[in-house]
Amino acid sequence: MAKTISTKELAQKIINHTKIIILDVRNTDEFDNWKIEGGQVEVINEPYFNLLDSVDPVANKLSKDQEIIVVCAKGGSSEMVADLLEEEGYITVYSLEGGMKAWSEHLEPIKIGDLKEGGSLYQFVRLGKGCLSYFVQSNGEAAIIDTARMTDVYEEFANEKEVRIKHLLDTHLHADHISGGRKLAEKVGGTYYLPPKDAEEVTFDFTPLQEGNDIIVGNTEVKVQPIYSPGHTIGSTSFIIDDTYLLTGDILFVRSIGRPDLAGLAEDWVGDLRETLYSRYKELSNNLIVLPAHYSFAEELGEGGEVSARLGDLYARNEGLQVEGEQEFRKMVTENLPPQPNDYQDIRRTNMGKIDPDQEKQKEMETGPNRCAVEG
Amino acid sequence: MKSTKVLDAKGLACPMPIVRTKKAMEELNSGDILEVHTTDQGSKSDLTAWAKAGGHELLKDTEEDNILKFWVKKG
């Protein structure tokens, strides 16, 4: 029987830039749509049903003494293929426990830095989907920004750090994943904040995010300062934390910019997006460290697995920030929109409280990459 | 549609529906039609891709009460 590897162990290997070979045995359409990426990962695809009689189709792509991680949708086929490879004399073969379904849910906390008056900031990287959420803790209290659906991970982390989760903030109404903010707020007796302009159709109570109403974490000076920055959605709000970090939500990424069409029409909001990127953010300090809500390219993962960049550097090298003319910008954005995220309309409805799919359905809705950025 | 053989793969998780389908298919002759019943949602895309790769023809598929049915003509 081949050994299994957990999503946590795989995440560590990717973040540590360990060289690994992944054999993805899902069918090729699924593989092309979404796969494991990052660090020093080399991934090859051969559907499991082509390997039932013999592993010959992959024999010339793998060597018997290298470590191979076999991956499928849920972990069943990868286990079978890992066993077949072992029988053929491959020495170190693992099957990814739970497959891509489990991979999509894994959250890896990475420390971004200490805060001036005590406390620290963590980025939770969802490697399987490219989603980033943030955990700010100071003096026994915590705030979470863009909480993922897997709320138990943050609860365990808060217990470990011995802090109480008090504030749950979403930068906007998400279209690519189901927010865990409201659920966790209810569970821990915290406050759930949303931008009011994104929340016109929501069916539950929330606290509106307003510029000027800073949120204080702990008794110290850790300020979470909302900045209205529309463009990805009409309500999109950024946060400046501790005068050092700029959480840009889905407006500005490290390698690209947010798409304006998931909650309406690209044509309508592209002007807002340009205004935010080319005027509002320009007034901020170039030294702010940008921390986005997503990444789309494996190369965006830094040395320690974190995703971040200095605002001034992004003005120099992010292609989405180099297009001066308004018409040119409009063209660049509207002509480079990738396919929408899986089930994005139902995900939005779930985040508004209009529908309440069961857990299994929610997992299924979230499969695939986030696709929140303009490509190109 | 008249099927040569019916394979009940309900309740089986991936990869078993395809493993059983492949085995059943090996016992049929070219032109025969195998009818497969599964409950694994993933079997739809996998069976479609498997049939294509193996030179078989997926004639029809239905879904009712969470039971997926496929009719595959052996190539």
- pLDDT bucket at A298, cuts 50 / 70 / 90: confident
What chain B holds in terms of domains, given with CATH numbers, is: 5-73 (3.30.110.40)
∠ at Cα B17 (B16, B22), nearest 5°? 95
What chain A holds in terms of domains, given with CATH numbers, is: 3-103 (3.40.250.10), 107-365 (3.60.15.10)
SS3 readout for B49-65 = HHHHHHCCEEEEEEEEC
Residues in chain B with CB shorter than 8 Å from the CB of A27 are 45-46, 49-50
The active-site residue out of B14, B19, B49, B67 is: B14
Contacts of A104 (CB under 8 A, 6+ apart): A126, A128, A129, A363, A366, A367
- Is the pLDDT assigned to residue A221 strictly greater than 60? no
Decide: residue A191, CB within 10 A, 0-12 exposed, 13-18 middle, 19+ buried.
middle
CB contact (8 A) between residue A27 and residue B49:
yes
Interchain CB contacts (distance < 8 Å): A and B: 41
- pLDDT bucket at A222, cuts 50 / 70 / 90: low
- ipTM for this prediction: 0.92
Q: What is the pLDDT of residue A265?
A: 67
Residues in chain A with CB shorter than 8 Å from the CB of B19 are 52, 80
CA distances from A343 to A30, A76, A365, A374, B68 (A): 15, 25, 6, 18, 21
User: Which among A304, A301, A370, A372 has a CA at the least distance from the CA of A38?
Assistant: A301
Query: Comparing A342 with A113, which gets the higher pLDDT?
Result: A113
B49 interface with A at CB cutoff 8 Å: yes
Mean pLDDT of A179-198: 96
User: Which among A156, A187, A151, A185 has a CA at the least distance from the CA of A168?
Assistant: A185
B11 interface with A at CB cutoff 8 Å: no
Mean pLDDT of A251-276: 86
Mean pLDDT of A73-86: 96
Give the strand pairing for A245-249 and A289-292.
Answer: parallel
The active-site residue out of A14, A72, A121, A263 is: A72
- Is the pLDDT assigned to residue A71 strictly greater than 70? yes
CB contact (8 A) between residue A49 and residue B14:
no
Q: Is there a catalytic annotation at residue A131? A: no
CB contact (8 A) between residue A73 and residue B14:
yes
Nearest-Cα distance to chain B for A79, in Å, is 9
Mean pLDDT of A356-365: 92
Query: Comparing A336 with A64, which gets the higher pLDDT?
Result: A64
What kind and span of H or E run contains A14? helix A7-15
CB contact (8 A) between residue A30 and residue B45:
yes
- Is the pLDDT assigned to residue A35 strictly greater than 70? yes
Q: What is the pLDDT of residue A299?
A: 84
Residues in chain B with CB shorter than 8 Å from the CB of A72 are 14-15
Residues in chain A with CB shorter than 8 Å from the CB of B38 are none
Residue of A nearest to B43 (CA): A27
Q: What is the pLDDT of residue B63?
A: 94
Burial A251-285 (b: 16+ CB within 10 A, else e): bbbbbbbbbbbbbeebeebbebbbebbeebbeeee
Residues in chain A with CB shorter than 8 Å from the CB of B11 are none
Residue of A nearest to B18 (CA): A49
B46 interface with A at CB cutoff 8 Å: yes
Helix locations, A88-165, DSSP H:
99-105, 151-161
> pLDDT tens for residues A301-341?
888 889 999 999 999 999 999 998 899 999 988 888 888 88
- pLDDT bucket at A225, cuts 50 / 70 / 90: confident
Question: Over its length of 75 residues, how does chain B's per-residue pLDDT go in tens digits?
Answer: 789 999 999 999 999 999 999 999 999 999 999 999 999 988 999 999 999 999 999 999 999 999 999 999 999
Looking at chain A, the whole-number percentage of residues with pLDDT higher than 70 is 98
- Is the pLDDT assigned to residue A277 strictly greater than 80? yes
- pLDDT bucket at A368, cuts 50 / 70 / 90: confident
CB contact (8 A) between residue A47 and residue B49:
yes
- pLDDT bucket at A220, cuts 50 / 70 / 90: low
N-to-C CA span, chain B: 17
User: Which among A249, A261, A301 has a CA at the least distance from the CA of A13?
Assistant: A301
> Average pLDDT over chain A, rounded to whole?
92
B39 interface with A at CB cutoff 8 Å: no
Contacts of A277 (CB under 8 A, 6+ apart): A231, A251, A252, A257, A320, A321
A30 interface with B at CB cutoff 8 Å: yes
Q: Which of A29, A52, A77 sits opposite B14 (nearest CB)?
A: A77
Q: What amino acid occupies position A298? A: A
Tokens of A216: 């204080």
State phi, psi for A357 to the nearest 5 degrees: -65, 155
For an interface test with A, the pick among B23, B39, B40, B46 (most A C-beta atoms closer than 10 Å) comes out as: B46
- pLDDT bucket at A26, cuts 50 / 70 / 90: very high
> pLDDT tens for residues A116-127?
888 999 999 999
